[in-house]
Structure 1
């Protein structure tokens, strides 16, 4: 029999349009654990992570107190009269696959207005002027990103040794979107999130790779 907590968790996930795999990854738990929570769970030590990933109230998810979506919650969409950040939307794209041809100049196609408070509190960018929206194509980063997603990139973060994450990078006149992490032995490793794509490389100086920025948010609501 499904528990009340499990029902709320599943409702929150469905409302956020996330799969079990996507939510589990965002909350730092296994997909099988999430599936069990949605059936027989009475709570979780990761309830705050689950609530944030789904964009719902922690108290509501935990015990049903209050509303699912509190009106005081921060939103990326600016309310009337609040300060906004106009982030450039570029025609430039990154590939989650074999790479796309590099465009040496930013090609502006529009702007997307975001709440300045939301950007500052949730994303904490190096500089508001360093943010750029780009398009992502391919399937090598699925399920984290899907083909056609719009990604928010902080171009002020260019050293993967400072913080692991998903980066936009250029190599051999191609642009890629890959996960970058520093191993315990100090080696910086590049990989894909798609389990069917066995892409693993290391930054060992044999070829030049330029880090163009770190992906900090996806239009599907995921913070990286």
Structure 2
């Protein structure tokens, strides 16, 4: 299975073909031609010596600049020369291979932010079921992650695999979200209070804490948890 960096490079090659040249693509996304070349050729970083790979922030910026759906740069579906993630395994039934990420979220004190999506595999999901039951922002935005800790005990357990919609960029409705703050990742419930502010809390009454999103701390929404692998719809 291709890594997220390889998929983004293939998508970048596809965009170069669409635009006609790397220079035209650079102008379209407001990047330098040198940056495009570094991503395509994976030139080594002068400080770390590691190949330069496109990060998630850059991928989202490119998608926005070219009108692509969020997560398009990370989705292998339709990339020339790559296997399609949707294959038939029962007559009349299709499955969608949803990436399983090494990234995790803590249902407690918070896990360190890995910064990039690192795929460790994929789990099959029925696209018909996902669309009908979960109603994600897009099938290409679905990701599986592990949740660790006991602060959400009662809703899901330590080590459960969670299905996340990374297309959700802000908590507009009450639900369980993957949040990033102070370079750590959390899985918490978010509710809107009557005064319009949002509060973050845990579901386990033994460790219940409540924080209010009042702008004093920068909190980024990394996605909404739609389903726990134990069969709980959130």
**TM-score if structure 1 supplies the norm length?**
0.64
Give SS of 2:140's match. helix
Distance 1:210 1:175 in 2: 9
CA displacement at 1:198 relative to structure 2: 2.7
Out of 140, 164, 168, the residue aligned to residue 174 of structure 2 is 164
Counterpart of 1:135?
146
1:212 maps to 2:212: no
Give SS of 2:206's match. coil
Matches within 5 A, 1:1-224: 80-81=90-91, 82-160=93-171, 162-224=172-234
Deviations 1:101-140 (A, max 9, x none): 1011101000011111111101111000100000000000
CA displacement at 1:157 relative to structure 2: 1.3
Distance 2:152 2:232 in 1: 13
Give SS of 1:169's match. strand
Contact 2:151 2:208 in 1 (8 A): no
Deviates more, 1:123-132 or 1:81-90: 81-90
Give SS of 1:118's match. helix
- Seen in structure 2, the aligned counterparts of structure 1 residues 214 and 121 have a Cα distance that, compared at 3 Å, is same
Distance 2:103 2:170 in 1: 21
What runs of 5+ residues in structure 2 fail to find an aligned partner?
Answer: 1-87
What runs of 5+ residues in structure 1 fail to find an aligned partner?
Answer: 1-77
Give the superposed CA RMSD: 1.1
Deviations 1:173-212 (A, max 9, x none): 1000000010111010000000011310011010101100
Distance 1:127 1:169 in 2: 20
Distance 1:102 1:127 in 2: 24
Contact 1:94 1:175 in 2 (8 A): yes
Distance 1:221 1:150 in 2: 10
Distance 1:93 1:200 in 2: 22
